């Protein structure tokens, strides 16, 4: 089963990487406002059904993929799994 996890800095949390991207884009002449940078993790996992996959992915996020204090995550399962 294929899954994708999106990890983003929570609103209000300082995002230096996003600030750097935003200011570099403006220096290049692009008219952009706020920029925020997060991670996307594509995973291949063994799970019997979507519910089990989601439960495991939540655990992975809490334990490794995201820092729940400052980051939020979204889980997406591929339909063609």
Q: From residue 26, how far is each of 11, 29, 33, 42, 66 by CA, in Å? A: 22, 5, 9, 30, 29
Site residues (CB under 8 A) for a second copy, limited to 2-31: 6-8, 18, 21-22, 24-25, 28, 30-31
x/- string (CB under 8 A) for a second copy, residues 44-63? xxx---------x--xx--x
Helix, strand or coil, per DSSP, at residue 62: helix
Q: Tell me which residues touch a second copy (CB under 8 A).
A: 6-8, 18, 21-22, 24-25, 28, 30-46, 56, 59-60, 63-65
């Amino acid at each position: 089963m294929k899954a994708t996890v999106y990890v983003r800095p929570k609103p209000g949390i300082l995002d230096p990487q996003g600030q750097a991207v935003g200011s570099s884009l403006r220096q290049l002449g692009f008219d952009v406002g706020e920029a925020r940078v997060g991670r996307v993790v594509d995973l291949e996992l063994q799970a019997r059904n979507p519910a089990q996959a989601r439960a495991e992915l939540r655990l992975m996020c809490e334990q490794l993929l995201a820092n729940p204090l400052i980051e939020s995550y979204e889980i997406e399962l591929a339909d063609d799994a």
